Amino acid sequence: MVEKRLILAHDLGTTGNKASLFDRDGSLLGSAFHAYPTAYPRPNWAEQDPQEWWQALCQTTQRLLAEAGAKPEAVAAVSFSGHMMGCLPVDQAGHPLRSCIIWADQRAQDEAHHMAALLGADTIYQVTGHRVSPAYTGAKILWIRHHQPEIFQATATFLQPKDYLAFRLTGQRATDYSDASGTLLFDLEERCWNEAWLAQLEIPPDTLPPLYPSTAIIGHVTPEAAQATGLAEGTPVVIGGGDGACAGVGAGVVEPGAAYAYIGSSAWISVSTPRPILDPQQRTFTFHHLHPERYCPMGTMQAAGGARDWAWQRLAGESDQLDRLAAQAPVGADGVLFLPHLLGERSPFWNPQARGAFVGLTMGHGEAEMARAVLEGVAFNLRLIFDALRPQLPHVSALRLIGGGSRSGLWCQILANCLNLPVQTLSLKSEATSWGAAVAGGVAVGLFDWSMAAAHSQVVETFHPQPEAVPLYDGLVQIYTDAYRALAPIHARLAAFQKDRPE
């Protein structure tokens, strides 16, 4: 009989799905990645085809098992991480009724205003840990009801991205506390759907999936899914968590007192606490943790690595060349400032009409200054998030950094200077989110315990603040804030122009 000693973690990201295989000691045995596109049919809209997710899961599973030489029967559990705050309506048979409206989508502005007026903006923040925003699932559900009523009427369940894949593997509809906490429909402390609110919003409660802790086994791989993926029929499937919650565990941030930052397509800074933390100015918010008794206060910005990718494509240079040029530009990019609000903005401004901008350009500036300004602009926004969280971080002596952004030494140094705090990179780097999902799976089947998270999140490099750069960045952060405030009315007018232009 084959020993069940492996955990297969799927990290359903914005740009693609990564399958990772871990053994019972927490060692990474291999990974496989398959990309899929995001459609941006209108300004502030962002959608993905769920069939692309399923194809990515099947291909990465088959390839990973083959390349790692792993027997399917050795997989003790499949677990998930996934991008959050999506809205995928499926019918009674589980077939998608439209593409998924993903986290980056900001179209549901009117519906968010409706929620705030009906339920009370402050009340929503107090109960859910989140301020009202079109980024969240609840507003997106209402958008479908208002604009695509035939789809709303045919919907049996609204699913999050990872939950759709769990359904395809098991036939079971489910979600976990962390993904539920990104809907504006979840009572954070009671850990249940707010049925009174659902009645007021006219959302049938049975269209929301059953709730489970992230370590719950929600079903087993069906014969059809086994044939499609190469997994063994009957393999336990663990629901896992949203990518933010998985990233925290992957960074070793389980027990209260530790902090980390993630730079991927989006970016955030977060901590672990035993209870929700509410900001009087509502700049930050609180998700549920993977751990059933922990929470994740955090602040998230919309476009970080996504802003870098956008800029590098537009500057039309080789990626390595642009990285080198950015490193050669001086602190402050010789007076060029970049506002990275290419998808609107969440923390700390909470303005879906915010727009990106280069400010301060002259004829003497070129690719080097513009590239460095992009990296600095993301760091400035993260500094404002960190300042909002600072009252909750009295004992934090360093910030762990994970995600693709942690591979850039220049970005790590800029962030350390901007925060005036040591920035630590980890051995897992971009695998941290997958490791968090694997921890949930391993805990579920008894292979791991929670202490495994920190044990395998080893610091490999520390970037210390450079004293000569810290005061310069302090001043530039203030200029960045003032530039946002000065341009906000212009951005609102441009957003209105985009909305009203002919199709």
For residue 186, tell me if it sits in a domain.
yes
For residue 403, what pLDDT is reported? 87
Cβ partners under 8 Å of residue 117, min gap 6: none
358/393 same-domain check:
yes
Whether 353 and 421 map to the same domain: the answer is: yes
- The count of structural domains within the chain is 2
pTM of the entire predicted model: 0.86
Q: Is 489 part of a structural domain of the chain?
A: yes
500 classed as catalytic = no
Would 440 be classed as within a structural domain? no
The token pair that represents 246 in the structure block: 């998985």
- Domain membership of residue 441 (yes or no) is no
Grouped pLDDT means (10 residues each) for the chain, 503 residues: 91 96 95 97 94 98 98 98 98 98 94 98 97 95 98 98 98 98 98 98 98 98 98 98 94 88 92 90 95 94 96 87 96 98 93 95 97 98 94 84 94 98 88 94 96 87 98 98 98 87 58
**CATH code, domain carrying 491:** 3.30.420.40
Distance CA 68, CA 277 (A): 42
- Judge whether 247 lies within some domain: no
Q: Which residues contact 67 (CB under 8 A, 6 or more apart)?
A: 30, 32
492 and 351, same structural domain?
A: yes
In a domain, 456, yes or no: yes
Q: Is residue 197 part of a domain?
A: yes
What six digits make up the tokens of 216? 């719950």
Cβ of 93: how many Cβ atoms within 10 Å?
6
Query: How many C-beta atoms surround the C-beta of residue 397 within 10 A?
Result: 10
Q: Are residues 192 and 314 in the same domain?
A: no
The pLDDT of residue 501 is 65
* 234 and 261 assigned to the same domain: no
In the numeric block, the tokens 């009370």 are attached to: 120
Question: Positive or negative, the Cα torsion across 169, 173, 178, 180?
Answer: positive
Residue-level pLDDT at 502: 58
Complete DSSP assignment for 331-374: TTGGG-EEE--BTBB-TTT-BTT---EEES--TT--HHHHHHHH
DSSP state, residue 73? G
If asked whether residues 53 and 166 sit together in one domain, one would say: yes
Q: Helices in 120-215 by DSSP H: which ranges?
A: 121-128, 137-147, 149-154, 161-170, 177-180, 195-201
Instruction: Let me know whether 150 and 234 are in one domain.
Output: yes
Find where tokens 């923390």 sit: 347
CA 289 to CA 432: how far, in whole Å?
A: 15
Report yes or no on 244 lying in a domain: no
- For residues 106 and 175, membership in a common domain is answered with yes
Same domain, 332 and 234: no
Q: Distance between CA 31 and CA 10 in Å, rounded?
A: 10
Range of the domain at 147: 6-239
Token readout for 410 is: 């220049």
Residue-wise burial string across 111-138, b where 16 or more C-beta atoms lie within 10 A, e elsewhere: bbebbbeebeeeebbebbbbbbbbbbbb
Residues 124 and 257 in one domain: no
**Which of 105, 163, 179, 243 is labelled catalytic?**
243
Same domain, 274 and 383: yes
CB atoms inside a 10 Å sphere around CB 160: 31
- Please identify, among 207, 239, 271, the residue that sits at the C-terminal boundary of a domain: 239
**Residues 312/322, Cβ–Cβ less than 8 Å:** yes
